[in-house]
Amino acid sequence: MKRCWGLWLVLSVVSSLAHAATPTSVQIAAEAWPEHTQADGRGLAWEIFRQVFEPAGVQLNIQSVPYTRSIGLVQRGEADAWAGSYHNEVQQGVFYPRWHYDADQISALGLRTQARPTLDTLDQYRLIWVRGYEYQRYLPKVGEYREVIRRGGILGMLDQHHADFYIDAVTEVDDVLSTAREPARYYVTHLTKLPVYLGFADNARGRALAELFDKRMTVLINDGSLRPIFQRWQQPYPFN
């Protein structure tokens, strides 16, 4: 009887500690992508994360930083998660949930003088993308590629034939194209879609938040609660 009482006491203490350790806030870092994760707190992704966490009693705190820095913050435990990752994009110090929250339409921007690329012909071209996005891991038959720090000089690289195509999510491709003096000189080719994830810190707090994220996403997808968010931001629904 004493052993049973002792076991019950231990289990009660463990349960109480686990309950007390449930995070009441989540710090998510992200690059300030227009209409997705804007620095002012507006955007499709921020709305999704609020819908996931806040009804469960977890306050969303956002931090706008460059993409590679957002990963470092999570790896060092200075943020709970970062937004915009592809699955298993980062291997060290992070934990991926089961559910993605969006999907990127991956596209290629090039001069109209170039033949249109396909997934099967990408190895025939010189590609560029922003450092940290690791598209060589997700696109088949990638041959020569370069990583750039900023998107500001991409059109110049295409114009001067230093690269054949710029690869990125279509929203970023469209942003780059919008800065062109003669946009008719270029065209955009859609290549594939990649699910987009939150990458959580690989610690007890991060795993608890990832578990909550998966539970809440299951509920929200099943009851259709996320559809109005995608409709409001005029983005395709990625859970059909």
pLDDT for 52 beyond 50: yes
pLDDT in tens, 129-175: 998 888 999 998 899 999 999 888 999 999 999 999 999 999 899 99
Q: From the CA atom positions of the chain, what is the Rg in Å?
A: 21
Instruction: Write down the mean pLDDT value for the chain.
Output: 91
Average pLDDT over residues 174-189: 95
The domain over range 21-102+196-232 is classified in CATH as 3.90.950.10: no
User: What tokens does 13 get?
Assistant: 């203490």
Q: For position 240, what pLDDT does the model report?
A: 83
3-state secondary structure 112-151: CCCCCCCCCCHHHCCEEEECCCCHHHCCCCCCCEEEECCC
Say what the pTM is. Answer: 0.79
Q: How far is CA 84 from the centre of its chain?
A: 1
Q: Determine the Cα–Cα distance for residues 136 and 84; give it in Å rounded to an integer.
A: 17
| Mean pLDDT lowest among 16-30, 97-111, 187-201 | 16-30
Q: What is each CA distance from 11 to 21, 111, 119, in whole angstroms?
A: 15, 65, 54
Span 208-238, pLDDT tens digits: 999 999 999 999 999 999 999 999 999 999 9
Q: For residue 111, what pLDDT is reported?
A: 97
Residue 52 to residue 46: CA distance in whole angstroms = 10
Residue 210 Cα distances to 68, 87, 106, 238, angstroms: 21, 14, 26, 19
Cβ-contact 219, 55 below 8 angstroms = no
Residue 20 has pLDDT above 50, yes or no: no
**Distance, CA of 177 to CA of 188 (rounded, Å):** 9
- Cα–Cα distance for residue pair 121/192, rounded to 1 Å: 13
Which stretches within 40-112 are classed as H helix? 44-53, 67-75
% of the chain surpassing 90 pLDDT: 82
DSSP 70-83: HHHHHHTTSSSEEE
Q: Comparing 201 with 3, which gets the higher pLDDT?
A: 201
Task: Let me know if domain 103-193 sits in CATH 1.20.1060.10.
Answer: no
Whether 21 shows a pLDDT value over 80: the answer reads no
Domain boundaries, the chain: 21-102+196-232, 103-193
User: In CATH terms, are 21-102+196-232 and 103-193 the same topology?
Assistant: yes
Q: What is the pLDDT of residue 148?
A: 94
pLDDT above 60: residue 75: yes
